[in-house]
Chains A and B, each alone.
Chain A
Amino acid sequence: MLFTSGAFLVGLPILCIVYFVIPQRFRWMLLLAASYGFYACSGLENLLFILTTTISTYLLTCAMERIADQRKETLAANKSVWSRDEKKAYKEQMQKKRFWLLVCCLLLNFGILAVLKYGAFTLRNINSIAGWFGQGDVFAVPQLLLPMGISFYTFQTMGYAIDVYWEKYACEKNPARLALFVSFFPQLIQGPISRYDQLAQGLFAGNGFQAGRVLFGTQRILWGYLKKMVLADRILPAVTTLISDPAQYDGVYAFIGILYYTLNLYADFTGGIDITIGIGQVLGIPMAENFERPFFSKNITEYWRRWHITLGTWFKDYLFYPISVCAPMLNLSKWSRKTLGKTIGKYVPVYAATLIVWFTTGLWHGAAWNFIVWGLMNAVIILISERLTPLYDRFHKRFAWSNTHAYGGFQALRTTLLMGCLRMFDCYRDVPLTFRMFGSMFTKGNFSVLWDGSLLELSLSVSDYIVLAVGMVLLFVASMLGRKGSVRQRILEKSPVLSCAMTVALFLIVLIFGAYGIGYDSSQFIYNQF
């Protein structure tokens, strides 16, 4: 079910009304029923996978906690009897048991994800390698079912399992409550990837109706629909046209494609997240922010701290740090210091961990080489810019004008274009073709398409361009104002009437300027496919 589907648009207000009417203690149960209903709409068979993840995580995390409780009791009982070494040995023994339970949980759930999402990709690559040696296909490549949002809910649930292993908080004793955390419908499609300790409180509090919160939530939802339906869906046909025929649309067209796709992806993804967080706000369930004006970033490292924040922090906390401090990595560090010298040697584990994380980030986005190359290219640029930091610092100290707002604007534009170029791997989905299209931007020289009316033949009319331009100005102004705190809060404080008028205006804008008409079928959210 799409956020833009009729069933969702009718069902959501009904759900909210029922949520506020029923007794507080039943509210989370209603959300669980709604979440499973929402998920069942994507295919009843998908429920099997989400249930497997929920039940296996529930059983294994509870078992981890039982061992931790047993450890605490035994240590307390033998506090004055056991020596320090005996206590240490016992702790290690119990921790090892907990560790293997965690490994089972991770293997099972990431295993499901790996088989369904990467099985066919792996088999195709094995067949290709066999082909190089003159062999035919070794394996038949099956068409496997890919349940909606499996990457998102698997990552979220495994983050919970690791946190319980690390004893950050107690495990959830009620399987139905854990099921709601795994399946909470607004975030199933494209995140944000929540942490249990942050989401649970709002999820199970059953907060009642509060006019201000409902107003803010509704405004955020409408703002999300504006981004998705007025901007993302309007520019999508042009993006599709440009990508579908690279032979015709190269050179300046490829550059235009970068700009169009940047707007398309930003409006689509942030719009979806606005709708998600807005629904949470209406229901009194605070959710983690996933964006912080990413295109205002001065460099790519900052960009990745501000774009898809919850995925970035997931990788940092559960992959980057653990692999950076694991025994093989520390041994690699010692070896590299010995053989390469202290200065170079100390960077080896950091760089190795960064490359592994970005390889995985690429793979997370899709089972294809273009995503892997995209991830690794990000890593290479981040590492180069890390090495050049002292040079940049000297540059900023030497030239005062490099600290002005104008230079900051240049840096933001540079980051936007750089990220747009990297996203070409995402657009064309073919590594050699992407490099060819990138090269054509500098060699083709078909600049005349900018003024000879060719841009009006990309499935966009003059009125489309006007709507897009006004929409982009609106996004820019909202982003600028948002730097000083909540725009909605300030408007409400100034005048409640103005705040209500803004809500109506947002609704009318979506209604009038949304990209739909007779036979319109809104496009799937881009991040849903990841």
Chain B
Amino acid sequence: MSETMETILSILKDLHEDVDFENCTTLIDDEILDSFDIITVITEISNEFDVKIPADRIVPENFNSAAALAALVESLEED
């Protein structure tokens, strides 16, 4: 597991302890994360990584799973 993924999982676990974030791929579709959670995740990511998630990247496909979030962070780091 990459370091990015570990950090993302730790941020998510902080929000909802009882969710299986490692395997869940419907965090937005099943309304597990609401808009409050999304903003908390974004601010946590901006604190943990040297990236800023722009508003146009806040779409369900980028937030539906921990893996998608990790991929988003990695793509922003590359930009």
Contact = CB atoms under 8 A, between A and B. Distances in A.
Interface stretch (B1-9, B21-29, B35-43, B65-73): B35-43
A334 B43 CA distance: 9
A38 to B, nearest CB: 34
A320 B42 contact: no
Given A321-B55, A325-B52, A325-B58, A330 B43 contact: yes
Contacts of B53: 325
B56 A333 contact: no
Contacts of A317: 55, 58
A320 B58 CA distance: 11
A324 B58 CA distance: 11
Contacts of A167: 56
Q: What class of interface size applies to chain B in its complex with A?
A: 10 to 19
A350 B40 contact: yes
Given A325-B52, A325-B53, A325-B58, A316 B43 contact: no
A350 B36 contact: yes
B38 to A, nearest CB: 8
A322 B56 CA distance: 8
Interface in A332-383: 333-334, 337, 346-347, 349-350, 353-354
B30 interface: no
B27 to A, nearest CB: 16
Contacts of B75: none
B8 to A, nearest CB: 16
Contacts of B56: 166-168
Interface in A110-161: none
A96 interface: no
A330 B52 contact: yes
B40 A325 contact: no
B55 A325 contact: yes
Contacts, number: 49
B55 A349 contact: no
Contact of B43 (A322, A346, A386): A346
B18 to A, nearest CB: 9
A166 B56 CA distance: 6
B40 A316 contact: no
Contacts of A321: 35, 38-39, 55, 58
Contacts of A301: 34
Nearest to A302: B31
B55 A353 contact: no
B58 A386 contact: no
Q: Give the contact-size bracket for chain A.
A: 20 to 34
A66 interface: no
B46 interface: yes
Contacts of B38: 321
**Residue among B34, B38, B43, B56 facing the most chain A CB atoms (10 A cut-off):** B43
Contact of A346 (B34, B44, B79): B44
Contact of B55 (A322, A334, A386): A322
A166 B53 CA distance: 13
Contact of B39 (A88, A168, A324, A327): A324
A30 B43 CA distance: 49
B35 A316 contact: yes
A333 to B, nearest CB: 4
A88 B43 contact: no
A88 B54 contact: no
B57 to A, nearest CB: 9
Contacts of A334: 47
B35 A320 contact: yes
Contacts of B55: 166, 317, 321-322, 325
Contact of A333 (B34, B36, B47, B58): B47
A325 B44 contact: no
A320 B53 CA distance: 14
Nearest to B54: A325
B14 to A, nearest CB: 9
B36 to A, nearest CB: 5
Nearest to A345: B43
B68 to A, nearest CB: 17
A252 B40 CA distance: 43
Contacts of A353: 39
Given A320-B35, A334-B47, A88 B40 contact: no
B48 to A, nearest CB: 12
A316 B55 CA distance: 10
Nearest to A353: B39
A333 B46 CA distance: 10
Contacts of A168: 56
Nearest to A163: B56
A347 B54 CA distance: 19
Residue among A166, A317, A334, A346 with most chain B CB within 10 A: A346
Of B36, B42, B58, the most chain A CB neighbours within 10 A belong to B36
Contacts of B54: 325
Nearest to B14: A346
A325 B58 CA distance: 10
Contacts of B34: 301
Q: Which of B42, B44, B52, B54 has the most CB of A within 10 A?
A: B42
Given A321-B38, A350-B39, 4 more contacts: A325-B42, A325-B46, A330-B46, A353-B39
Q: Give the 10 A-B CB pairs with smallest separation, nearest first.
A: A166-B56, A322-B55, A324-B39, A333-B43, A321-B55, A321-B58, A350-B39, A350-B36, A330-B46, A325-B42
10 contacts: A88-B79, A317-B55, A321-B39, A325-B54, A325-B55, A330-B43, A330-B52, A337-B47, A346-B44, A349-B39
